[in-house]
Amino acid sequence: MSRQRPVTVVVLAAGEGTRMRSATPKVLHELGGRSMLGHVVAATRGL
């Protein structure tokens, strides 16, 4: 039986999106139906 070790993930999600000329923070912009932050969170679930 394999033992799973707890994993801690730190997501560096900063930025206001000013170069994108948007009032929405860039990590909340959607890409493929999910926010960019959502993509990062989904990728960490498999760790």
Residues β-bridged to residue 36: none
Report the sign of the C-alpha dihedral through residues 43, 24, 20, 14, in that order: negative
**Active-site pick, 3, 19, 21, 45:** 19
Asked about 45 being catalytic, the answer comes back as: no
- Taken as a whole, the chain contains a residue count of 47
Residue carrying structure tokens 């993509």: 39
Residue positions annotated with a catalytic role: 19
